[in-house]
Amino acid sequence: MALRQNNQTTNPGIFKVLIYLLILLIFISPLVLADSSIESKLILVQPVINANNKQTSISRNGLSAIFKMRLIQWDDGTPVTVFVLPDDNPVHKQFSKKILNVFPHQLRRIWNNAIFSGSGQAPITLSSTAEMIEKIATTPGSIGNLSINELNDRIKIIDIQ
Amino acid sequence: MNNLKKNLKIRFEIVCVLCVACTLSQLLIVNTAVAETPAAVEANENWFSGAWLDGSWMPQSVQIHGFLSQGFVHTSDNNFFGKSDDSVSTDYRELGINGSWRVIPELQLSMQVVYRDAGLTDDQDVRIDYGIADYSFYSTESSLLGLKGGRIPTPLGFYNETRDVLSNRPTILLPQSIYFDKNRNISISADGGYLFGEHRTEFGDFFFDVGAVIPRLNDPDGEFALTRDLPGKFSGNLSWIGRIAYEWQSGRIRTSITYADFHVKYKSNNSIIQPGKLQFNPLIFSVQYNGENWSLTGEYEFAHRHFNDFGAPLDSNTTSIGYYVQGTYKFTSWMEGLVRYDNLIVDKNDKNGKKFSASTGGLLPAHSRFAEDLTVGLRFTIIPNLLFSAEYHHINGTAWLADIENKDRTKTKKRWDMFLWMISYNF
């Protein structure tokens, strides 16, 4: 193997790694520039719950704990069912960053850690806001997130204290 | 005869992989069907076509998840996870499936079954990695306090509890200075109980885990490295683990300190090694910053090992030092790069291993007592949950090579290179 020859010289490792890094950078620089696209337009996203839920407000810590799947019942003991949109969905991104103050990849890590260490469960990922509207409206104890122009009489906003 | 056995084993593995692949493809099909037309799936009453797999028959409190990873290893010298020296080893795969059931909001039962092959360092059987009853007796918006019992993933540093799954570890091979892969089966989980809690405040979340466990010692390399093929048996004694952690903004900054007091005893069935005791005390400091596109991680471990009553030359009292610094950067939503420097010194009073090598009469080379690993890696998210990772390691030292795969240590090379590739799906 060609790799063998390098082992004879005194300290080839560092140089070889530097060359690898350089090649990597050359390949990657156009991709970096391409990825810095404009932020999606502002959408007003709020946490929403099934309208039959007696609770009307929650602390910011409590809301965050619910979406991290660490708080799993409402004040009256009803189990919480969490619905989320895919990680790259603009509504989900905005909700995570502006309301929960986390990046979507942090939530994904928390959920994956929970399901693969047996310490918790994952939220149910839905594919569209249409499905979100349907599920929140029909599932008791459910919570999700929606743009404020998509509410109906079976869905209400939960106030953050 | 041996060849026949080997062939049958390989065929069995292929059948296993195919079965899981079929199940997964069914799941994929069902998932996309749900995404497009939920009504079409509901209308489908035939359980075998996959309707039962979408979970509609299960209560909503039950979840099933799993993973399927296949790795490839090539090394310039020395064997790692199979015959990798000047060849490509495919003896590296990890399959697992877990189920969890939230019986009542306070109680969750969960279990994970894993099949793993990693060259000679894993014996390729199906085993229960964890089986847990988790009861939270106090839960409010700001606090949680609970107890769990059973077989529980051991909370060591950032990565040990979920090290099975590629998506939950930064690289195919975790930094070996702290997360030994050759003895992975010893560290992954242990039987016992934990008290755990968390407190959420405006200035961050605080966590603790404290547990009493009996370590599990069934690891092919662990026993071989200490006693070769001599008859005898290692087993765990009562051990303690504690970890405290602090996270700011749900993990923008993460820090933790882990300490453990592991006790192991050896029952000898030979005249060369006496029955003895082994005490292992790791102390791990962990820090991580997570930005939107980049992250920086560092962990530092002092680990004290005390071999007692075995007789010379096994009896010893050493402290190892292991640490790494790692940076990742997301170039695009589907591609992430990683650079890491990882260093392990087996005995801090003999950093270059020369004293140790001399004490074995040169049978074990000095470079078997340290390992510096410079890693660069790339990870691609092909579709959500389907990952492809590739990484290159340049390594100076052989401290974390498995003895069982490199039986004649005098033939191992000090400086070597390793390429790893892995494709992994989890659901």
The reported pLDDT for the residue numbered B25 is 45
Question: Is B162 in contact with A116 (Cβ distance < 8 A)?
Answer: yes
Closest residue of A to B103, CA-based? A79
Highest mean pLDDT among B181-190, B309-318, B408-417: B408-417
pLDDT band (50, 70, 90) for residue B29? very low
Reported confidence tier of residue B44, pLDDT bands at 50, 70, 90? very low
CB contact under 8 A, A3 and B292: no
pLDDT band of residue B42 (cuts 50, 70, 90) is: very low
Give the Cα separation of B124 and A85 in Å (integer): 38
CA distance to partner chain A, nearest, from residue B151 (Å): 10
Minimal-distance CA residue of chain A relative to B98: A116
- Taking residues B221-238, report their average pLDDT: 79
pLDDT at B50: 42
> Using 50, 70 and 90 to split pLDDT, how confident is the model at B37?
very low
Give me the residues of B, 307-346, that contact A with CB < 8 A.
331-333, 335, 337, 339
Instruction: Kindly report the nearest CA distance between residue A133 and chain B, in angstroms.
Output: 14
| pLDDT for res B384 | 86
- Does this complex have an ipTM over 0.85? no
The predicted pLDDT at position B227 comes to: 72
As a whole number, mean pLDDT of residues B235-258 equals 95
Residue B161 has pLDDT above 90, yes or no: yes
Q: Tell me the nearest-neighbour CA distance from B10 into chain A, angstroms.
A: 27
Residue B226's pLDDT band (cuts 50, 70, 90) = confident
pLDDT tens, residue by residue, B77-121: 999 998 898 889 999 999 999 999 999 999 999 999 999 998 888
pTM score, two decimals?
Answer: 0.82
Minimum-distance CB partner of B332 among A21, A31, A122: A31
Distance from CA of A3 to the nearest CA of B (A): 6
Note whether A102 contacts B100, CB cutoff 8 Å.
no
pLDDT, mean of residues B192-218: 95
Report phi then psi at B104, rounded to 5: -135, 165
Q: Which residue of A has its CA nearest to B31?
A: A127
Lowest-pLDDT choice from A87-91, B104-108, B121-125? B121-125
Tokens of residue B110, six digits: 């969960």
The Cα–Cα gap between A111 and A120 comes to 8
- pLDDT tens for each residue of B335-377: 999 999 999 999 999 999 999 999 888 889 999 999 999 999 9
B144 in contact with A, Cβ within 8 Å? yes
**Contact: A119, B132; criterion CB under 8 Å:** yes
Looking at chain B, the whole-number percentage of residues with pLDDT higher than 90 is: 64
Reduced 3-state DSSP string for B156-175: CCCCHHHCCCHHHCCCCCCC
Q: What are the structure tokens assigned to B64, written together?
A: 């099933």
- Contact B86/A at CB under 8 A: yes
Q: At B282, which amino acid appears? A: P
Split at pLDDT 50, 70, 90, the class of B224 is confident
Contact B274, B268 (CB under 8 A): yes
Reported confidence tier of residue B205, pLDDT bands at 50, 70, 90: very high
* Partner A, chain B 346-405, Cβ-Cβ below 8 Å: 374, 376, 378, 384, 392, 394, 396
Contact list in B for residue A112 (CB cut-off 8 A) is 162, 165, 167-168, 426
Looking at residues A37-58, what average pLDDT do you find?
78
Mean pLDDT of A98-107: 93
What chain B residue is nearest to A101 in terms of C-alpha separation? B249
Q: What is the pLDDT of residues A111-150, one digit of tens each?
A: 999 999 999 999 999 999 999 999 999 999 999 999 888 8
Looking at chain A, which residue has its C-alpha nearest residue B32? A127
Question: How open is the CA angle B95-B97-B98, to the nearest 5 degrees?
Answer: 145
- Which residues of chain B does A64 touch, with a Cβ-Cβ cutoff of 8 Å? 200, 250
Q: With an 8 Å Cβ cutoff, is A140 touching chain B?
A: no
Six token digits for residue A111: 């959920």
Mutation pick from A117, A128, A160, A161 vs chain B, by most beta carbons of B within 10 Å, is A117
Q: Summarize the confidence of residues B305-332 as an average pLDDT.
A: 90
Q: What is the mean pLDDT of residues A41-47?
A: 75
Of B144, B251, B392, the CB nearest to A110: B251
The pLDDT of residue A32: 52
Q: What burial letters (b/e) apply to B35-53, b meaning 16+ CB within 10 Å? A: eeebeebeeeeeeeebbeb
Q: A135 - beta bridge partners?
A: none
Angle at B330 between CA B327 and CA B334, to 5 degrees: 140
pLDDT at B21 over 70: no
Given a cut of 50, whether residue B55 has pLDDT beyond it is yes
Quick one: closest CA in B to A28, which residue? Answer: B331
pLDDT per position as a tens digit, B127-136: 999 999 999 9
Residue contact B102–A86, C-beta within 8 A: no
Which residues in chain B are closer than 8 Å to A62, comparing Cβ atoms?
Answer: 141-142
Contact A110, B251 (CB under 8 A): yes
Question: Of B41, B100, B156, B250, which to mutate for an interface test with A (greatest number of A Cβ within 10 Å)?
Answer: B250
Interface check for B250 against chain A (CB to CB < 8 A): the answer is: yes
DSSP A151: -
Q: Please indicate if any CB of chain A lies within 8 Å of the CB of B141.
A: yes
Exposure string of B373-395, with b = 16+ CB inside 10 Å and e = fewer, is bbbbbbbebeeeebbebbbbbbb
- Which tokens in the block code for residue B36? 């497009």
> What is the residue-averaged pLDDT of chain B?
86
pLDDT higher at A38 or B388: B388
SS3 B365: coil
**Whether the predicted pLDDT of B195 surpasses 80:** yes
Over residues B220-249, the mean pLDDT reads 85
How many alpha carbons lie under 13 Å from residue B243 in its C-beta half-sphere? 24
* Higher local confidence (pLDDT), A28 or A75: A75
Tokens 């997360």 correspond to B179
B38 band by pLDDT with thresholds 50, 70 and 90: very low
Whole-number CA gyration radius for chain A: 23
Q: Is any Cβ of chain A less than 8 angstroms from the Cβ of B152?
A: yes
Taking CB atoms and an 8 Å limit, are A3 and B415 in contact across chains? no
Which of B75 and A32 is assigned the larger pLDDT? Answer: B75
**CB A118 to CB B376 under 8 A?**
no
Question: Chains A and B: how many Cβ contacts under 8 Å?
Answer: 149
Strands B189-201 and B204-215: antiparallel
pLDDT at B180: 87
Task: Flag whether pLDDT at B159 surpasses 70.
Answer: yes
